[in-house]
């Protein structure tokens, strides 16, 4: 399989290494410095694109792939207000667009545990909920896309909350779930869900030891997406 890498920072490089170790070829390595080379590529020779760039580049990268008939999966966060536009373009072009805030299999299991716990907490009172996420200082967006997905999982399953807010930037209402973001090197990613009361605390957490799980998950999805159509997610890939 020929894979186009859109974004070639630390994550892109690791994805490329894993892809090649699994017998795939790299059709291109595009980043901010050689973005002009994208239009010179032969789209017919590209089987899938993996997009881990920057928020300001993600939308145009995804559009280019959809308009050129290339199945595209993206893990870039911080641009999701424009996702409905790309979902519509996917349908219009009869393409394949896969988005996940996190490609780690373990994190996606964690998402489901978080949703289940939120449902359980509807049955009790006296607990306040919060999310804390810790990443390396090179991560530009806050909160992380993974933290937002966790927040949405709580909001969708616990009646107390209507939205979320980032602590330090604003004060939320009682119906707003607080997210605290910390940037500490060399942390690749920790997410903690807390329910606190006067009697006790309940916590669940996920800590990534490296980027390996994220990168491998992206390559596995690139292999899986062949022949698929539509707007896709990890729920489709994992059959949750």
- Please write the tens of the pLDDT for every residue from 129-146: 999 999 998 887 899 989
Domain shared by 92 and 10, yes or no: yes
In this prediction, residue 187 carries a pLDDT of 83
* Active-site choice (10, 17, 83, 139): 139
Longest dimension (CA), the chain: 63
Same domain for 126 and 151?
Answer: yes
Based on the domain organization, do 99 and 183 belong to the same domain?
no
Q: Which pLDDT belongs to residue 104? A: 93
Q: For residue range 3-26, list pLDDT tens digits in order.
A: 999 999 999 999 999 999 999 999
On whether both 39 and 114 belong to a single domain, the answer is: no
CATH of the domain at 169: 3.30.360.10
Q: Tell me if residue 139 is catalytic.
A: yes
Across the range 66-90, mean pLDDT stands at 96
User: In terms of domains, do 66 and 110 share one?
Assistant: no
pLDDT of residue 159: 87
Q: Are residues 168 and 226 in the same domain?
A: no
Percentage with pLDDT > 90 across the chain: 82
Q: Is the pLDDT of residue 239 over 90?
A: no
**88-122 pLDDT tens trace:** 999 999 999 999 989 999 999 999 999 999 999 99
pLDDT confidence of residue 240: 62
Asked if 9 and 82 sit in the same domain, the reply is yes
* Residue 121 shares a structural domain with residue 203: yes
Confidence band for 157, pLDDT divided at 50, 70 and 90: very high
Range of the domain at 25: 2-103+212-238
Q: What is the mean pLDDT of residues 198-224?
A: 95
The verdict on 192 and 140 lying in the same domain is yes
Q: What's the predicted TM-score (pTM) here? A: 0.83
Residues 129 and 189 in one domain: yes
Establish whether 191 is a catalytic residue.
no
pLDDT tens per residue, range 25-61: 999 999 988 989 999 999 999 999 999 999 999 999 9
- Mean pLDDT, the chain, whole residue set: 94
CATH number at residue 216: 3.40.50.720
Residues 118 and 177 in one domain: yes
The number of distinct structural domains making up the chain is 2
Residues 216 and 99 reside in one and the same domain: yes
Q: Would you say the C-alpha torsion 2, 53, 219, 71 has a positive or negative sign?
A: negative
pLDDT at 77: 86
Q: Which of 135, 158, 191, 206 is catalytic?
A: 135
């Amino acid at each position: 399989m020929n894979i186009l890498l859109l974004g070639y920072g630390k994550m892109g490089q690791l994805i490329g290494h894993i892809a090649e170790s699994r017998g795939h070829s790299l059709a291109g390595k595009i980043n901010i410095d050689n973005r002009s080379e994208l239009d010179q590529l032969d789209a017919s020779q590209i089987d899938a694109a993996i997009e881990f760039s920057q928020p300001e580049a993600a939308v145009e990268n995804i559009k280019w792939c959809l308009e050129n008939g290339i199945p595209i999966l993206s893990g870039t966060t911080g641009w999701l207000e424009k996702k409905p536009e790309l979902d519509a373009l996917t349908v219009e072009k009869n393409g394949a667009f896969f988005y996940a805030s996190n490609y780690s299999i373990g994190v996606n299991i964690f998402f489901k545990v978080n949703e289940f716990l939120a449902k359980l907490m509807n049955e009790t009172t006296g607990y306040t909920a919060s999310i804390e996420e810790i990443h390396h200082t090179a991560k530009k967006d806050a909160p992380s896309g993974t933290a937002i997905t966790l927040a949405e999982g709580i909001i969708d399953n616990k009646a107390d909350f209507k939205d979320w807010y980032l602590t330090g930037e604003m004060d939320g209402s009682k119906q707003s779930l607080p997210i605290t973001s910390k940037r500490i090197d060399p942390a690749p990613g920790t997410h903690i869900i807390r329910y606190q009361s006067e009697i006790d605390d309940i916590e669940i957490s996920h800590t990534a030891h490296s980027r390996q799980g994220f990168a491998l998950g992206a390559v596995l999805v690139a292999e899986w997406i062949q022949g698929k159509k539509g707007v896709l997610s990890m729920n489709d890939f994992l059959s949750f």
